């Protein structure tokens, strides 16, 4: 399993593995995470999430896994759109999960969505468990991207779909310049004004820049063993939805 340059992008310069630093950073920003998401994306993130969840419509999944569930935005939206019997959300930040659990309770979805502490790179479930897996803005934070993708593949049922939502780098010259200015200067500064961790938003920019997007990410999915890989670029290339399936073994039936 090869290490990718993005695996080494950490939130802080000090001690600690990427995983430790990422969970510490999200613990810190958790109370204002949802507000900052809506504010910095002008609400577009909800459109991206809805689009990604609709990828599962035809599959009618019964048990979904939301890896890096954070404050459970995807899990809650998926419960409403897809009505699966169960959604399991895992995350390495207890601070994010705490906010997510409160939201689930408020929405009366406690019987459907269960959140627990868990690492997407060593998923605590047996092989072939889930009918579908989603990861929104999570894979960019993995310490070992390929290991995480392998683990996800392991817990998917044959034929199940993985849907990933992640930032990508716009290529249209004017859009690219504006995006770089917004992500590199405006967003960290706004975060500072809102008393948020400026470093967290600098990390967002650096990790998004280093992340293998579009065809590169699709090639990693293929290499990991997924089939039917596909990506859809959104909002002039700022974001991408990726879809991939666990192959059904030829002698399975």
- Shortest spacing between CB 71 and ligand SAM, in angstroms: 6
Is residue 168 part of the contact set for ligand SAM (CB under 6 A)?
Answer: no
H or E segment and range at residue 231 = strand 227-234
- Shortest spacing between CB 156 and ligand SAM, in angstroms: 16
DSSP state of 186: I
- Shortest spacing between CB 252 and ligand SAM, in angstroms: 29
HEC string of 119-170 equals ECCECCCCCCCEEEEEEECCHHHCCCHHHHHHHHHHHEEEEEEEEEEEECCC
**Binding site as annotated, residues:** 71, 91, 119-120
- Shortest spacing between CB 70 and ligand SAM, in angstroms: 2
DSSP state of 69: -
Is residue 137 part of the contact set for ligand SAM (CB under 6 A)?
Answer: yes
Is residue 136 part of the contact set for ligand SAM (CB under 6 A)?
Answer: yes
Burial of 184 (0-12, 13-18, 19+ CB in 10 A): middle
Is residue 69 part of the contact set for ligand SAM (CB under 6 A)?
Answer: yes
H or E segment and range at residue 244 = strand 239-245
- Between CA 43 and CA 88 the distance in angstroms is 25
Neighbours of 191 (CB within 10 A): 22
| DSSP calls for 73-96 | HHHHHHHHHH--SEEEEEES-HHH
User: Residue 124 or 189: which CB sits closer to ligand SAM?
Assistant: 124
Stretch that binds ligand SAM, among 1-9, 64-72, 124-132, 152-160 (CB under 6 A): 64-72
Contact pick of 92, 104, 218, 239 for ligand SAM (by CB under 6 A): 92
Residues 1-40 that bind ligand SAM (CB under 6 A): 19, 22-23, 26
Is residue 207 part of the contact set for ligand SAM (CB under 6 A)?
Answer: no
- Between CA 26 and CA 48 the distance in angstroms is 21
Residues 139-158 that bind ligand SAM (CB under 6 A): 141-142
Is residue 130 part of the contact set for ligand SAM (CB under 6 A)?
Answer: no
User: Residue 22 or 183: which CB sits closer to ligand SAM?
Assistant: 22
Structure tokens at 125: 């479930």
**Binding site as annotated, residues for S-adenosyl-L-methionine:** 71, 91, 119-120
Size of the site for ligand SAM (CB under 6 A): 23
Q: Give residues in contact with ligand SAM (CB under 6 A).
A: 19, 22-23, 26, 67-70, 73-74, 90-93, 96, 119-121, 136-138, 141-142
């Amino acid at each position: 399993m090869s290490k990718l340059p993005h695996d080494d992008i950490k939130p802080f310069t000090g001690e600690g593995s990427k995983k430790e630093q990422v969970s510490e950073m999200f613990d810190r920003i958790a109370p204002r995470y949802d507000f900052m998401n809506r504010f910095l994306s002008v609400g577009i993130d909800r459109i991206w999430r809805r689009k990604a969840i609709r990828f599962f419509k035809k599959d009618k999944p019964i048990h979904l896994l939301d890896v890096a569930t954070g404050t459970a935005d995807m899990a809650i939206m998926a419960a409403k759109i897809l009505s699966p019997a169960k959604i399991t959300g895992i995350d390495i930040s207890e601070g994010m999960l705490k906010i997510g659990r409160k939201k689930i309770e408020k929405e009366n979805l406690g019987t459907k969505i269960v959140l627990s502490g868990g690492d997407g790179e060593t998923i605590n479930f047996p092989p072939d468990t889930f009918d579908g897996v989603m990861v929104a803005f999570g894979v960019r934070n993995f310490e070992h991207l390929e290991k995480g993708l392998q683990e996800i593949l392991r817990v998917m049922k044959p034929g199940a779909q993985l849907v990933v939502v992640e930032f990508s780098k716009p290529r249209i010259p004017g859009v690219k310049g504006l995006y770089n200015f917004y992500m590199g200067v405006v967003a960290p500064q706004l975060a500072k004004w809102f008393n948020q961790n400026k470093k967290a938003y600098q990390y967002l920019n650096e990790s998004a820049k280093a992340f293998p997007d579009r065809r590169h990410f699709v090639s990693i999915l293929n290499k990991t063993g997924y089939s039917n890989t596909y990506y859809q670029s959104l909002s002039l290339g700022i974001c991408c939805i990726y879809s991939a399936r666990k192959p059904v073994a030829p002698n399975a039936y």
